[in-house]
Structure 1
Amino acid sequence: MGNTFCIFVGCIQQSSVGVIERWGRFEKLAEPGLHFFNPFAGECVAGVLSTRISSLDVRVETKTKDNVFVQLLCSIQYRVVKENADDAFYELENPKEQIQAYVFDVVRALVPRMNLDELFEQKGEVAKAVLEELEKVMGEYGYSIEHILMVDIIPDASVRRAMNEINAAQRMQLASVYKGEAEKVLLVKKAEADAEAKYLGGLGVARQRQAITDGLRENILNFSHKVEGTSAKEVMDLIMITQYFDTIKDLGNSSKNTTVFIPHGPGHVRDVSEQIRNGLMEAASAQGKKSC
């Protein structure tokens, strides 16, 4: 229900304040409730003001320090101060236009001092400056500025596209750096693994050869002790011949269809045994030098 009035009685609703005049001159403020008037004494209700918070959205177009045109959407919450309702009623005919004019003035004076990035970071400072100016001005007219919110900052469409492209390029550059670092780590780890594999392979070959040498030495010693009158050379020749014929046998029993041509004869067996013996002697000689 709205405010109800007749010639002698008036009802002011809650969150409202009435302005009472006598013979066209301000007399008093009427609180919410029932009021009696004397029309014969010139009393009447000149108007009623709401003390509820009102909201006004103001869109301001300006440019920044780096010559970027932007639109700022400000939301201003204001209300009539109950004790100064007579000033609000008599001093201002259109408070919304007054508020909008001061918002335009403050924003267009402050934003051109900032770059676009600074504007996004300091939009709260812009809202604070607008609030301080409006509180100082509108307080004289009986209005209280409750809140000012910088709702949105909208750059030109071409600027937004450029900003998105710059951001995308920076992210692609960062992704390339991370990808390069990952590939570098992968190559280093692969090289380390290859070196480790070769090192372990070398150790395996060395141990294999050491085991063969130890086995041959043990066989020669055992055979020499069990069969009297045999020398180490004769035992070595016998072992070489036995291994030679075992190798020929394995090649013949292989299921693969591969033909291998090798020289065959007792002389070749003797050559093989001499080469192995010489190799063992050179290894023993080198081991002795290292011990010295």
Structure 2
Amino acid sequence: MSDFIYLPLIFLGLVILISSFFTVKQQSAAIIERFGKFQSIRHSGLQLKIPLVDRVAGRLSLKIQQLDVIIETKTLDDVFVRLKVSVQYRVIKDKVYDAFYKLDYPHDQITSYVFDVVRAEVPKMKLDDVFVKKDDIALAVKAELNDAMSDYGFDIIKTLVTDIDPDAQVKSAMNRINASDREKTAAQYEGDAARILIVEKAKAEAESKRLQGQGIADQRREIARGLEESVMVLNKVGINSQEASALIVVTQHYDTLQSIGQHTNSNLILLPNSPQAANSMLNDMLASFTASNQIGEAMKNAKNKKKEE
């Protein structure tokens, strides 16, 4: 009977003994209170407390934590914009007491300071400047938070402006502006390309015409040289220059007729093309040469007479 009386006492003793021990995880701290009053701070490992007297009032993580704050505010050019500010912070190991007892809701405190700084800085900037100077905004938030939160046992590691989201209509307008600028640039490049193509084509045509003219000039030079040689040959057999020139023209006339006759599908008609045409052409040319010589002699005689007077 006496054994049954001691069993509850033994069990109670074991429970009290076991409750005297507790563990604290790595990178965390436990706050011990005795009868509701702060007693000590325990760090990682197996810890001992007085049963029924001491209790673990709370635990704080010493790891780096992140709080994302979304703020909506207005810029200098009256554009509403939403900013996402990420705050990385941790509890200072030597100030666990301040972090636990001075602030009940540190997230709310940090959020309030972020709102205050962002809504003081962004209205001074235009929308484009907000994108360009987002690092300046982040530094201003970090400086303000460090001054305010260090007294509460928190260290602000870094602040980042991770997102800038203007109003939907403003984004649409910005996209249209960017699209218009790109189209303008594309049109300028296309115009430059077309102008270069026209210039190069004109240069090519000019070069082609120059070479064509040079070829024609060379051809005519050779023809003239051939005619000159033909006249010299005819002069050797007693035919004067006028008769030789007329004979050459008549010969070229018949050569042309022969060339036309070789092409069955030719629609070219040479006028006059009768057999008497060559004889008439020869007589006309001889008469023309004779008249030309007479006029030349008359002008020469008149010029010499004038000099004698």
Q: Normalising to structure 1: TM-score of the pair? A: 0.85
Change (3 A) 1:23 1:262: same
Would you say the 8 A contact 2:88–2:159 is kept in 1?
Answer: yes
Counterpart mapping for 1:1-292 below 5 A = 7-39=19-51, 42-225=53-236, 227=237, 229-258=238-267, 260-263=269-272, 264-271=277-284
Q: Contact (CA 8 Å) 2:34, 2:55: kept in 1 or not?
A: yes
Change (3 A) 1:130 1:6: farther
Whole-Å Cα distance in 1 between the matches of residues 282 and 239 of structure 2? Answer: 19
Q: Closer, same or farther in 2 for the Cα pair 1:29/1:200, shift >3 Å?
A: same
Deviation at 1:28, TM superposition (A): 2.1
User: Compared with structure 1, are the counterparts of its residues 30 and 46 closer, same or farther at alpha carbon in structure 2 (3 Å cutoff)?
Assistant: same
- Aligned equivalent of 1:282: none
Would the alpha carbon gap of residues 233 and 96 (structure 1) be closer, same or farther in structure 2, given more than 3 Å must change? Answer: same
Classify 1:275/1:29 alpha carbon distance in 2 versus 1 (closer, same or farther; 3 Å): farther
Q: Which amino acid aligns with 1:211?
A: E
Distance 2:250 2:58 in 1: 131
Q: Secondary structure at the match of 1:72?
A: strand
Name the aligned partner's letter for residue 172 of structure 1.
E
- Amino-acid identity (%): 42
Q: CA deviation at 1:39?
A: 3.9
* 201 and 275 in structure 1: CA distance in 2 versus 1, 3 angstrom threshold: farther
* Whole-Å separation in 1 of the counterparts to 2:159 and 2:268: 96
Distance 2:286 2:73 in 1: 100
CA apart distance, 1:270: 4.0
- In structure 2, what is the Cα distance between the partners aligned to 1:76 and 1:191? 65
- Point out the more displaced range, 188-197 or 124-133: 188-197
Give how far 1:195 is off. 2.4
Check whether the contact 1:240–1:272 (CA below 8 A) recurs between aligned residues.
Answer: no
Q: What do residues 239-265 of structure 1 show as CA deviations (whole Å, max 9, x unaligned)?
A: 332222222222233212526151224
Inter-CA distance 216–8: structure 2 relative to 1 (3 Å threshold): same
SS in 1 for 2:267: coil
Q: Once the two structures are superposed, what CA deviation does each residue of 1:164-208 show, in whole Å capped at 9, x if it has no partner?
A: 111111112222222222222222222222222222222222221
| RMSD, aligned CA | 2.3
Is contact 2:79-2:166 (8 Å) kept?
yes
**Correspondence for 1:288:** none
Q: CA deviation at 1:8?
A: 1.7
Letter in 1 for 2:190: K
Q: Which runs of 5+ in 1 are unaligned?
A: 279-292
Compute the displacement of 1:237 (Å): 3.0
The residue number in structure 1 matching 2:306 is: none
Distance of 1:275 and 1:61 partners within structure 2: 104
**Which whole-Å deviations, capped at 9, do the CAs of 1:30-53 have from their partners, x for residues lacking one?**
12111222247x433222111112
Structure 2, unaligned stretches of length 5 or more?
1-16, 293-309
Cα 1:178–1:154, aligned 2, differ >3 Å: closer, same or farther? Answer: same
Q: Secondary structure at the match of 1:52?
A: coil
State the distance in 1 between where 2:116 and 2:288 align. 104
